Structure 1
Amino acid sequence: MLHPDAVRELSGTAGFLLRKAAVFLATLMLCSAAAASPAVVVIPLNGAVGPASADFVVRALSRAAEEHAQLAVLEIDTPGGLDPSMRSIIKAILSSPVPVAAFIAPGGARAASAGTYIVYASHIAAMAPGTNLGAATPIRISAGGSTEPSSAEPGQAKKDAGASASSAPSTASTETTKQVQDAAAYIRGLAQLRGRNAQWGERAVREAVSLSASEALAQNVIDLNASDVPELLTKLNGRHVRTITGDHVLATSGAAVETILPDWRSRFLATITDPSVALILITIGMYGLFFEFANPGLALPGVAGAISLMLGLFALQLLPVDFAGLGLILLGIAFLVAEMFLPTFGTLGFGGIVAFAIGALMLFRTDVPGYGIPVSLVIGLTLATALFVFVVSSIALRARRRPVVSGAEAMLGSIGEMLEDMPPSDSGWARVHGERWRVCCHEAPALLARGERVRVLGRHGLMLTVARLDEVKQGEK
C-alpha cells in the first residue's frame, strides 16, 4: 500500500495536469472558433458619390456575400453625389444578404447629401466623434442658376395656400418641388424600414439641416458612436441584425478584418467620369479626327482622336449631361474649323470660341461637389482652342500662297530653252523643267534660234505656247 502522503502527492499532480489540459483545450477551442468566424469586410467610400464609386461599392458588397462575410462596414466620407449612383448603392445595401454598417469616419469626415440616404439605408449606422451627417436637399441647377428647394412644412403650406394664390408665384419651380417631395418620401421610407428618426430625415431633405455624432445618437438617427473600426466591432458583438436572408447574430469581437480597396477598373472609371477629364477627351477627340480628315494617312491623330472621343462619350452617358451644352460645344468646334476655310475675317472664329465656352459651362446639369467644371479649365481650353485655330489657319494660309509646283498650272510662267531653230508661226522643240516639249509661238516676229530662252504662256494638251523671254519682260514693264 502507498503511504497517505504519497497518495496526496499523486492526487495533486493529477489535478494540476487536468487543469493544464483544460486550459489548453479551452485555448484551442477559442482559436478554432476565431479561425472559423467569418471575416468583417471594410469598404471605403471617399469623395463624391458617382458612377465609379457606385460600381465599386456594388461589386464589393457582392464579393462580401460570395465570401460569406458576417459584416460589411461601409466607411463613409463624402460631400454627396449623383442621385442615380446613390440609388444604386442603396439598392445593393437593401438586397445584401450580409449586414451593412455605415460608419462615418474618421474624425472630421462627413456624410452629406447622398451620404445621408446611404446611412439611413444601412442596417447599422454609426459615427465617429467629430463627424457630421445631413444636408440632404436634392440640388439641381435651374435655368437661372438658382437652387431653391421648398422648405415649408406641409401644415405651413396649407396655411399659406390662400395667401400664395393672390401673391406672386413661388420662386421654387414645380420640378424642384417634385424632387424635394420625392427625396423626402424616399428617406422617410428608409427611416421606417430601419426604425430611425423619420422626422429628422425629412428636415434634412427640406431644410438641409445637419447633426454632429452625439446629436445624431441622441435623436435616434444613428445606432452608436465609435472612434474607429476596432471599437465599432467590439460594440457590435452580439447584436441581432435582420437582412433579406433572415436574422443574424454578429460575432465581431476579434474577427478578422479585410479592407477592399478600389481596383484598376474603379480607378479608371473614376478618372474618365471626372467632368473635366470628359470635356478634355471630347475636345481632343474632335481635333484628332479633324487632323486625320484634313491629312488622310497620318493615322496617329485619327486613332488617338477616335479613342479619346469614344472614352469621352462613354463618360458623358454616365454623367448628367445637358445636351444643349454638348450641342454648343460641337457647334463651336464646327465654327472654328470652318474659319480655316472660309474668308469670314474672324466672325466664325469668334462665334466658335463663345459657343465653346458657353457650352462647356452648361455641359453638366448639377453643382454637386466634384461634378462641376472649373471656370479656369473652361478658359484654358477656350484659349488653347483659339490658339490651335490661329496656328492651323496661318499654316493653311501660307500653303495657299505658295506657288503651284505640280500639274498643268505649274508650267505657266516657266522658263525653257529652245532645242532647235523655230520659224514664226511654226512649232519646234524646247526643254522645260528638264523635259522635251513641243512648243509654238504665233506672235514671234522673227525666228526663235536654238538656245534662246523662252517663257511658257499656256498649255494645250502636249503643246506649250511660248514667247521670247525679252519680249515678255518688256510687256511686263
Structure 2
Amino acid sequence: MRQRSWRQRLILAFYSFLVVLTILSGARPARAHAGTVEVLTFRGPVTPILVSYLERSIAQAQANGSQAVILQLDTPGGSTDLMQAVIQLLLKSDVPVVVYVSPSGAHAGSAGTLITFAAHVAAMAPGSSIGAASPVGEGGAELPDTIKSKLVNILTADAENLTKRRGDKAVEFARQAVEDARAATADEAKALGVIDFIARDLDDLLAQMNGFTVTVNGREQTFHTEAVQTNEVPLGLLEDLLNAVTNPSIAAILLTLGLNALLYELSSPGGYAAGVVGVIALLLAFYGLGALEANWVGLGFIILAFALFILDIKAPTHGALTLGGVASFIVGAGILFNTPYTAVPWPAIITLALFTAAFFAFAVAKALSAQRRRPTTGAEALIGSRAEVRMALEPVGQVFLNGELWQAEIGDGRAPVGAYVEVTGRQGMRLLVRRSA
C-alpha cells in the first residue's frame, strides 16, 4: 500500500471530525430539519444507475440537512444483487428515505417490491400496484427447483424482516409476494399495512407526512412538512444516458445501428467514423441488454440474420436469404428482449427488421446491377466495341479503336479497308474481331 499524502490525511481527519460530530449529535433524540426534502424520479429496471443515483442523493441530503429523500419510483424490478445494494443504502441512511410508487399506473414489481418495503416511509399513488416478487431466471426462464427454493427462502426471509414492523398482515403479504407472486393495488396495500400513505401527488404526500414519526438507525424523527421546500435531484447526464438505453426499443435500435455501422466499416475500410459509431452503439446496447437481463440466445439469431443479409449480396438467391434474415432477426429480437421485467417491443423490432432488410435489398440490387453492367476498363471493356479497318484483315491486319491502331485478326473471312468490325476478344496485344452489322 502506498503512503498517504498530506492532503489525503487532511481529508481523512476532516471526515473523522464529521463522524465524531454525527455520533455526538446522536446522543439526543433527533429532529429533522424543516428546510427541504430531496426529490428523486426513477423510471425503469433496477440498474446500477439507481444505486449511484440514490447514493449520491442521500449524501447530498445529509450535507444539506434535508428532512428526507423522496424517491418517486416506477420499476418492473431487477436483479437481486442490485436490489440488495439499494436496500442496504436505505437501511444505513441517516436521512429518512421515502419510496413513493407513482404516478398512477406505476408499479413496484419484483425487486421494487422489497425496495419499497425497506423504505422508512412507503407510499403509493392511486392506480399503482406492488408485488409479484417471485425470482425468475435469465430471460424470464423458470429456475431449477433447488436454486429457486434457495432464492425464494432467502427473499422471503428478507421480505419478512423488512415488513415485520408493519404487522402480521404486511408480513403475510410479503411472504405471498415472493412465494406466489401476489400483487396488490394501492388500496389493498394500505389496508394490509404494507404502505403508510396513498397520495395523489407529491404535495398530497408531503401534507400527509406532516407530524408522521419514523425510526432511523434507532432514533425517532418527526416530519414537519407544512412549509417544506422540494429540491429536485435530476439524473446526471451520463446516468440519464445509461438509464435511457435500458429501454428495450432504444437498446434494439442501438444494436441494429451498431451492427450496420460495423458492416459498413468492414466493407469500406479507411474512414473509421462508421466503425467508431458502431462500437459505441454496440457497447451501449450491450449495457442496456445486460441491465435488462436479456436472453442472449436471441443475439445468435440476430447475428445469423446479418450473415444471411450479407450472403444474399454475394449469392444469386435474389432476395430469398434476405427474407430468411428478416425472420431470423424478428425471432432473435423477440427472444433477446423476452425479459422478466419488460414487454417485448414488437413495433420497434418489426420496423428495424424491415428497415435493415430494405437496406440490404438495396445493396443486393446494386450488386446485381454491377454484375450486369458492361465493363468500362481493362481488356473486357474493349469487347463489343466497333473498330475501323485501316489495313485489310486477311485475316490479320490493323484496326483503329479508341484513337489507337491495334493488330487484329478476323475469324469469319476477310474485311477490306474502311469496313467496320466488332471486337470479340483479345489475345495479348491482338484483338479478335468479326464482321460488324
TM-score of the two chains, using structure 2 as the length reference: 0.76
- TM-fit CA distance, 1:122: 1.6
1:287 maps to which of 251, 260, 269: 260
2:387 maps to which of 409, 413, 416: 416
- TM-fit CA distance, 1:459: 2.9
1:274 maps to which of 242, 247, 257: 247
- Tell me the residue number matched to 2:310: 337
Q: For 2:283 and 2:103, how far apart are their aligned partners in 1?
A: 38
Please state if 1:42 is matched with 2:39. yes
- TM-fit CA distance, 1:366: 1.9
Please state if 1:252 is matched with 2:224. yes
Please state if 1:188 is matched with 2:156. no
Please state if 1:86 is matched with 2:103. no
1:366-405 → structure 2 map (5 Å cutoff)? 366-368=339-341, 371-405=342-376
Q: For 2:182 and 2:393, how far apart are their aligned partners in 1?
A: 105
Identity of aligned residues (%): 32
Please state if 1:98 is matched with 2:72. no
Please state if 1:432 is matched with 2:408. no
Q: For 2:361 and 2:33, how far apart are their aligned partners in 1?
A: 70
Query: Secondary structure at the residue paired with 2:90?
Result: helix
1:88-237 → structure 2 map (5 Å cutoff)? 88-104=85-101, 110-127=107-124, 132-139=129-136, 173-192=145-164, 197-211=170-184, 216=189, 219-223=192-196, 228-236=204-212
C-alpha contact 2:425 2:433 (8 A) present in aligned 1: no
Single out whichever of 327-336 and 126-135 deviates more from structure 2. 126-135
1:456 maps to which of 401, 404, 423: 423
Aligned letter for 2:205? V
Aligned letter for 2:253? I
Aligned letter for 1:417? E
Q: For 2:106 and 2:269, how far apart are their aligned partners in 1?
A: 53
Please state if 1:322 is matched with 2:288. no
- TM-fit CA distance, 1:93: 1.7
What per-residue deviation string (whole Å, max 9, x for no partner) do you get for residues 46-96 of structure 1? 455445545433432333234343421223344545545433422322343
Q: For 1:218 and 1:194, how far apart are their aligned partners in 2?
A: 11
C-alpha contact 2:384 2:423 (8 A) present in aligned 1: yes
Q: For 1:316 and 1:132, how far apart are their aligned partners in 2?
A: 25
1:61 maps to which of 47, 58, 61: 58
Q: For 1:443 and 1:334, how far apart are their aligned partners in 2?
A: 47
Gaps of 5+ in 2: 1-30
- TM-fit CA distance, 1:393: 1.5
Query: Secondary structure at the residue paired with 1:439?
Result: strand
Aligned letter for 1:402? R
- TM-fit CA distance, 1:404: 1.0
C-alpha contact 1:141 1:365 (8 A) present in aligned 2: no
What per-residue deviation string (whole Å, max 9, x for no partner) do you get for residues 190-247 of structure 1? 33588884333112222333456566456443456666233244123xx35333xx63
- Tell me the residue number matched to 1:359: 332
- Please provide the CA RMSD for this pair: 3.8
Query: Secondary structure at the residue paired with 2:324?
Result: helix
What per-residue deviation string (whole Å, max 9, x for no partner) do you get for residues 407-465 of structure 1? 121122322234x435746654x43223x24314376866752x44333343344x222
Equivalent pairs counted in the alignment come to 402
Aligned letter for 1:93? L
Larger Rg: 1
TM-score of the two chains, using structure 1 as the length reference: 0.71
What per-residue deviation string (whole Å, max 9, x for no partner) do you get for residues 117-142 of structure 1? 11211233345666654333335588
* Counterparts in 2 of 1:467 and 1:400: CA distance versus 1, 3 Å: closer
- Tell me the residue number matched to 1:441: 409
